């Protein structure tokens, strides 16, 4: 049964907003625009129909939709991988734009959508799909690329990057949330096997993943990382189930249970687990910033169109300053953040070593906080502008209204990051 009210028309984005058109943005150079234009074309031709199918399934309230979504999401990642849009960590061919910048541009476009120069209409973005791309393509691939030996690389990294297999990164536990040093999951070294015991929570892609990088405590008491081949989710003594969330509808956030799960020792990554986890954090936070900015672009397109179309008290909504001002302010902020994002991404591409600089990490942590807070604010402003309609799934799903709420936690909780950042300023030693 379709739960949509026929009296509510689909909210169509009626006009381009040049200030939000990335192809029109003076901060991007010609090569970056060429890369984006190609991605836009690919998204319109190959990905948009899948995004629409995912949205449509949300309205079939009484039907089991999970299996259908699972298939669409897995195929979506494969489609992305065909063009090198899933993970950018390995360059199989030469690119004019660096891999961190490419990663950020894909995230911007996939979350924000764009006004299509080909068909003169807006192509909607989807943050939850991008979350899946980030988890498999970056949170899994980057640390594996950092530490894998030749065998692990050939078996567990190249196929993911090339063919878009689903992958995940499992850090968070029921007790160890923000405080990952409290991880309890046991990785018991038994000669040629490692036996895993413990649970993981909030693992994006967890119940879809072919491969998972699993962090746990080794016999020595130190943290380690091991690649779990889930055998297409059939691995013995391993369970995965979905955590139901508000928003992020297509991210398959999961709970994982390992109960005497046997893993081959050859899958253990060399080195310290904390170092492996922290290694990818700066790029992860940069890409989350791009996602948040993309989400602001999307929310602004919807607020703008609704304010243009809806009339109350004999005036269109945009004629009221109280409606117009937040839209204009959020647009201004969005553009400031785009320039910071692109400059950070380019710098990391041109001088890879600065990604591990503490000051760079701290600045990107700050960008992640500010951009996600803006995405949060833009969602609240859109919610107000839409009135009662915003409260219906019919509009909420289309706009991904609640997605931004998740990212105040994902990739590092804002209080924790803010506290760490401010502590640095007052260090006396
Ligand atoms: C949509 C989504 C997807 C996710 N995907 C993954 C994934 O793929 N893999 C994975 O491993 N994890 C994932 N996470 C988990 C995410 O990283 C954690 O939610 C996050 O680390 C916070 O942990 P917690 O939820 O246990 O909150 P808690 O640690 O319990 O924190 C609760 C609150 O207290 C605050 N707080 C905690 N410590 C401090 C402090 N020292 N100072 C000030 N404030 C503090 C926090 O900011 C937060 O507001 C995901 C989360 C979400 C929401």
Let me know: does 194 contact 164? Beta carbons within 8 Å.
no
Ligand 1: distance of its center to the CA of 70 in Å?
Answer: 25
Q: Is 411's pLDDT higher than 90?
A: no
The strand pair at 311-312 and 315-316 is best described as antiparallel
Q: Is 214's pLDDT higher than 90?
A: yes
| 57, part of any domain | no
Return d(Cα 35, Cα 220) in angstroms, integer.
Answer: 47
SS3 content of the chain, % helix, strand, coil (to 5): 55, 15, 30
Compute φ and ψ for 121, nearest 5 degrees.
-155, 165
**Average of per-residue pLDDT values in the chain:** 95
Let me know: does 129 contact 250? Beta carbons within 8 Å.
yes
Rg (CA), the chain: 22
135 touches ligand 1 (CB under 6 Å):
yes
The residue whose CA has the least distance to atom 6 of ligand 1 is 203
What integer pLDDT is reported at residue 84 of this predicted model? 96
107 touches ligand 1 (CB under 6 Å):
no
Ligand 1: distance of its center to the CA of 210 in Å?
Answer: 24
369 touches ligand 1 (CB under 6 Å):
no
Residue written as tokens 């080195």? 271
253 touches ligand 1 (CB under 6 Å):
yes
Summarised one tens digit per residue, pLDDT across range 353-382 is 888 888 999 999 999 999 999 999 999 999
248 touches ligand 1 (CB under 6 Å):
yes
Over residues 303-329, the mean pLDDT reads 97
410 touches ligand 1 (CB under 6 Å):
yes
152 touches ligand 1 (CB under 6 Å):
no
Q: Is 429's pLDDT higher than 80?
A: no
Q: Is 280's pLDDT higher than 90?
A: no
Ligand 1: distance of its center to the CA of 408 in Å?
Answer: 9
Over residues 294-304, the mean pLDDT reads 97
| 312, part of any domain | no
419 touches ligand 1 (CB under 6 Å):
yes
177 touches ligand 1 (CB under 6 Å):
yes
- Count of the separate structural domains present in the chain: 1
Query: What is the extent of the structural domain holding 259?
Result: 166-273
| 215, part of any domain | yes
Summarised one tens digit per residue, pLDDT across range 112-145 is 999 998 999 999 999 999 999 999 999 999 999 9
The tokens for 133 are 């791309």
- Band (pLDDT 50/70/90 cuts) for residue 63 is confident
Ligand 1: distance of its center to the CA of 177 in Å?
Answer: 5
The tokens for 195 are 């036996």
The residue whose CA has the least distance to atom 23 of ligand 1 is 177
Q: Residue 19 contacts by C-beta under 8 Å, 6 or more apart in sequence?
A: 331, 335
Return d(Cα 125, Cα 122) in angstroms, integer.
Answer: 9
Q: Is 428's pLDDT higher than 90?
A: no
409 touches ligand 1 (CB under 6 Å):
yes
| 20, part of any domain | no
Whole-prediction pTM = 0.96
Ligand 1: distance of its center to the CA of 405 in Å?
Answer: 12
CA dihedral 54, 58, 61, 64 (to 10 degrees): 30
Residue 185, CB half-sphere, CA atoms under 13 Å: how many?
31
Least confident of 13-27, 330-344, 362-376, 415-429: 415-429
124 touches ligand 1 (CB under 6 Å):
no
The residue whose CA has the least distance to atom 17 of ligand 1 is 410
Q: Which CA distances in Å does 165 have to 67, 86, 253? A: 17, 10, 17
Over residues 287-299, the mean pLDDT reads 98
What integer pLDDT is reported at residue 140 of this predicted model? 98
Q: Is 279's pLDDT higher than 80?
A: yes
| 180, part of any domain | yes
261 touches ligand 1 (CB under 6 Å):
no
Return d(Cα 170, Cα 203) in angstroms, integer.
Answer: 6
| 232, part of any domain | yes
What integer pLDDT is reported at residue 412 of this predicted model? 86
Return d(Cα 407, Cα 404) in angstroms, integer.
Answer: 6
**E strand or H helix that includes residue 285:** helix 281-309
The residue whose CA has the least distance to atom 7 of ligand 1 is 203
Q: How many CB atoms lie within 10 A of CB 404?
A: 29
Q: Per-residue b/e over 307-335, b at no fewer than 16 CB within 10 Å? A: beebeeeeeebbeeeebbebbeebbebbb
Ligand 1: distance of its center to the CA of 415 in Å?
Answer: 10
171 touches ligand 1 (CB under 6 Å):
yes
Ligand 1: distance of its center to the CA of 412 in Å?
Answer: 6
Q: Is 65's pLDDT higher than 90?
A: no
The residue whose CA has the least distance to atom 42 of ligand 1 is 416
415 touches ligand 1 (CB under 6 Å):
yes
Q: Is 234's pLDDT higher than 90?
A: yes
Q: Say which residue, 184 or 279, is predicted with more confidence.
A: 184
Determine what percent of the chain is predicted with pLDDT higher than 70. Answer: 100
What integer pLDDT is reported at residue 199 of this predicted model? 98
Q: Is 81's pLDDT higher than 90?
A: yes
What integer pLDDT is reported at residue 427 of this predicted model? 85
Q: Is 61's pLDDT higher than 80?
A: no
Ligand 1: distance of its center to the CA of 286 in Å?
Answer: 18
Over residues 139-159, the mean pLDDT reads 97
What integer pLDDT is reported at residue 360 of this predicted model? 92
Measured distance between the N- and C-terminal CA atoms of the chain, rounded to whole angstroms:
64
The tokens for 40 are 């836009």
What integer pLDDT is reported at residue 19 of this predicted model? 94
Among 39, 172, 30, 164, which Cα is nearest to 106's? 39
The residue whose CA has the least distance to atom 27 of ligand 1 is 177
Summarised one tens digit per residue, pLDDT across range 1-46 is 888 899 998 899 989 999 999 999 999 999 999 999 999 999 999 9
| 177, part of any domain | yes
Determine what percent of the chain is predicted with pLDDT higher than 90. Answer: 86
CA dihedral 156, 157, 163, 167 (to 10 degrees): 70
Return d(Cα 416, Cα 408) in angstroms, integer.
Answer: 11
Q: Which atom of ligand 1 sits closest to the CA of residue 414?
A: 47
What integer pLDDT is reported at residue 263 of this predicted model? 98
Over residues 186-204, the mean pLDDT reads 97
Ligand 1: distance of its center to the CA of 202 in Å?
Answer: 9
| 76, part of any domain | no
Identify the CATH number of the domain in which residue 255 sits.
2.40.110.10
Q: Residue 314 contacts by C-beta under 8 Å, 6 or more apart in sequence?
A: none
């Amino acid at each position: 049964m379709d739960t949509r009210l026929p009296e509510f028309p689909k909210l169509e984005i009626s006009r381009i907003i040049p200030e939000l058109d990335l192809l029109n943005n003076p901060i991007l150079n010609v090569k970056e625009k060429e890369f984006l234009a190609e991605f836009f074309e690919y998204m319109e031709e190959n990905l948009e129909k899948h995004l629409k199918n995912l949205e449509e399934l949300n309205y079939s309230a009484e039907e089991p939709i999970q299996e259908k979504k699972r298939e669409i999401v897995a195929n979506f990642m494969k489609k992305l991988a065909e063009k090198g849009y899933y993970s950018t960590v390995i360059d199989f061919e030469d690119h004019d734009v660096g891999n961190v910048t490419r990663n950020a541009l894909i995230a911007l476009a996939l979350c924000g959508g764009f006004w299509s120069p080909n068909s003169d209409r807006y192509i909607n973005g989807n943050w939850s799909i991008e979350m899946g791309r980030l988890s498999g393509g970056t949170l899994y691939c980057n640390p594996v690329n950092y530490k894998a030996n030749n065998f692990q690389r050939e078996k567990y990294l190249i196929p993911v990057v090339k063919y878009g297999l689903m992958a995940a990164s499992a850090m968070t536990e029921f007790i160890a949330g923000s405080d990952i040093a409290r991880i309890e999951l046991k990785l018991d070294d038994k000669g040629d096997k490692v036996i895993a015991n413990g649970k993981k929570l909030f693992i994006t892609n967890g119940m879809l993943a072919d491969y998972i990088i699993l962090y746990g405590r080794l016999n020595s008491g130190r943290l380690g990382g091991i690649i779990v081949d889930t055998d297409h989710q059939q691995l013995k003594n391993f369970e995965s189930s979905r955590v139901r969330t508000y928003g992020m509808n297509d991210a398959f956030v999961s709970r994982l249970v390992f109960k005497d799960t046997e893993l081959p020792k050859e899958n253990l990554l060399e080195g310290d687990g904390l170092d492996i986890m922290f290694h990818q954090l700066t790029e992860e936070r940069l890409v989350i910033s791009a996602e948040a900015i993309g989400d602001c672009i999307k929310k602004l397109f919807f607020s703008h169109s609704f304010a243009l179309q809806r009339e109350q008290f004999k005036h269109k909504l945009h004629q009221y300053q109280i409606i117009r001002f937040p839209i204009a302010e959020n647009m201004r902020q969005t553009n400031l953040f785009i320039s910071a994002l692109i400059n950070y991404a380019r710098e990391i591409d041109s001088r890879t070593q600065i990604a591990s600089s503490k000051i760079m990490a701290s600045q990107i942590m700050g960008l992640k906080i500010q951009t996600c807070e803006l995405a949060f604010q833009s969602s609240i402003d859109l919610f107000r502008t839409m009135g009662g309609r915003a409260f219906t799934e019919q509009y909420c799903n289309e706009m991904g209204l609640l997605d931004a709420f998740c990212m105040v936690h994902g990739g590092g909780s804002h209080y924790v990051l803010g506290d760490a950042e401010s502590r640095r300023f007052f260090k006396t030693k």
